[in-house]
Structure 1
Amino acid sequence: MTKTYMELWLWLIITAPVLLVLQNWISRHTQTVFLLLTRHTGMAILINQIVFLPGVVLHEMSHLVVARLLGVPTMGFSVWPKKQSDGSLRLGYVHTKKVDFVRESLIGVAPLIFGCAAVAAIGLKLLDLDDVGIALLRGDFLNGFINVLHVFRSADLFIWGYVLFALSNTMMPSSSDRRAWPVLGILILIVGLVLYYVGMPAIIQTALSNVIIDAVRVIATAFTVTIGVDIVVIPILYSVEWILWQFVPGNRLKVL
């Protein structure tokens, strides 16, 4: 149990920063590609929103659903893009009433939970990527390659691949979603230390361990599937962007 527990956490710790780097790259360069195609800021933002719309809807709906379940009043909902004062692009929002940090943290983490569940379900159940992952973890690269070929033979590959791309690249909580996390993290750490030193019934320890292991496994699996999708998309996106830049005189893009 301890070995499995540590391996899962290591898996999550390795994949999380890799995913963040890839997602930031994809976010910047998809916007650049659409800007190069349209030469119009508003149109580029609109196309970007349409491409990622399935993920944006799931992201904001997860905020809304969890807020309602926790009895937190909502004062606004939108999946319409808006450029922020710092230059970043906000794809949507759910405005909620100011509440305690526990409920605020749960509402903030909702897109990650819903997104990971959706990504894991699509990747493992609909595209059978679990066979690829198992083969690679065992070091069986031949079977891993064969299973990848089976995935590419799927009739619904492009549909589910697109949905997977849109969901996975919008599931990470924004900076405002993470606002209450430090306080909640400190509280969980304190409670955990108290329970560790005071003692906890074995049945509760086992139940908590199983829940944590399952949660970490789903999140790490979703992160891995997303990384795999992004690794396929990035060379294509880079090539398209490079080609489009060749049509820009002096590499100086003029936009409306």
Structure 2
Amino acid sequence: MNGVCWLLVLGIPLLLVQRRLHQEIQLLFYVITRRGEVALALFSLLFFPGVLLHELSHYVAARLLGVHTGRLSLVPRPMKDGRLRLGYVETGQTDLVRDSLIGVAPLLSGGTVVAYAGLVGLGLSDLPVHLATPVQHLWREGMERIYCQPDFWLWFYLTFTVSSTMLPSSTDRRAWLPLGLVLLSLLGAVILAGAGPWLAAHFSQPLDRAIRIIALVFGISLALHVILLVPIWLARWLLSKMRGFRLV
């Protein structure tokens, strides 16, 4: 399976599971506190490290690219469309390339943190081997070694919060479509000029490796989100029943 397939197989479920998990966490906080503003504050506090990295990535990228920056806010605010904005950075008008690079910066920085925290901090590099082990006690011992990693819960929390906030927002992606159309047009012109085989020979493998790295980051993030979704959903459901809440 090539990198693009892995990216789709892991990326699409990640988007769906992440959205549902965020909803369940917000509902859980609301059921516990019975106050919307307190639930919002707790949700924002939970993801603060990831939001901080996300917005700082925008800010640093803009400064490095020579784009004017304005206000940086980490105060959560509900949007008119019902979404929750956990933070933002004001940047000046610029060209498509720099706008796209500023938009993708959180994915690059967050992906680096998730890859390091997941593979090194949590020791997940050996997870496929443990899962493929047919002997039950060896599988259990392998999972226990992961759990016994130094500062396991700190790395788990950091990996989760960063992976939950590293994906670019719709505003971050605003320049991607026009830039993508320009690049596709240039690629088409190059292929028509007869340079297609040369491009495939020199760029297909590096591009596939880069996409596989992104897919790996998505896979780590998906695994953590799936692990957390069931207990958080169950806790929210039980508390809702106990307190007589009917959440739709």
TM over 0.5: yes
Answer whether contact 2:26 2:39 (CA < 8 A) is retained. Answer: yes
Deviations 1:21-44 (A, max 9, x none): 011001111111111111111111
- Whole-Å Cα distance in 1 between the matches of residues 212 and 40 of structure 2? 35
Asked if the contact 2:2/2:208 (under 8 Å) is kept, the reply is: no
Contact 1:132/1:144 (8 A) holds in 2: no
| One-letter code aligned to 1:46 | A
Report the alpha carbon displacement of residue 202 of structure 1 after superposing the two structures with TM. 8.1
Contact 2:31 2:245 in 1 (8 A): no
Report the count of equivalent residues: 246
Q: Does 2:91 align with 1:96?
A: yes
Measure, in 2, the Cα distance between the counterparts of 1:171 and 1:233: 18
Unaligned residue ranges in structure 2 (runs of 5+): none
Change (3 A) 1:201 1:178: closer
* Amino acid corresponding to residue 181 of structure 1 in structure 2: W
**In the alignment, what sits opposite 2:48?**
53
Matched-pair identity in %: 35
Residues 73 and 88, structure 2, Cα contact 8 Å, conserved in 1: yes
Q: Displacement of 1:181 after TM fit?
A: 1.1
- Cα offset, 1:210, TM superposition: 4.6
- CA-to-aligned-CA distance 1:186-209 (integer Å, 9 cap, x gap): 112122222233244988765533
State how far apart, in whole Å, the 1-side matches of 2:208 and 2:147 are: 31
Counterpart selection for 2:191 from 189, 192, 196? 196
Q: Distance in 2 between matches of 1:110 and 1:177?
A: 9
Report deviation, 1:152.
1.2
CA distance in 2, matches of 1:134, 1:200: 41
Give the superposition deviation at 1:185: 1.2
> How does 1:153-164 map onto structure 2 within 5 Å?
153-164=148-159
For residue 211 of structure 2, the aligned residue among 213, 216, 219 is 216
Q: Secondary structure at the match of 1:246?
A: helix
Counterpart AA for 1:47? L
Alpha-carbon distance between aligned partners in 1 of 2:130 and 2:176, rounded to the nearest angstrom: 36
Structure 1 SS opposite 2:2? helix
Deviation, structure 1 residue 155: 3.0
Unmatched 5+ stretches in structure 1:
1-5
Could you state the TM-score of these two structures normalised by the residue count of structure 2?
Answer: 0.90
Please give the residue correspondences for 1:4-83 in structure 2 after superposition, counting only pairs within 5 Å. Answer: 7-83=2-78
Q: Secondary structure at 1:177's aligned position in 2?
A: coil
TM-score between the two structures when normalised by the length of structure 1: 0.88
Native 8 Å contact 2:78 2:84 kept in 1: yes
Q: Distance in 2 between matches of 1:223 and 1:144?
A: 23
Seen in structure 2, the aligned counterparts of structure 1 residues 13 and 126 have a Cα distance that, compared at 3 Å, is: same
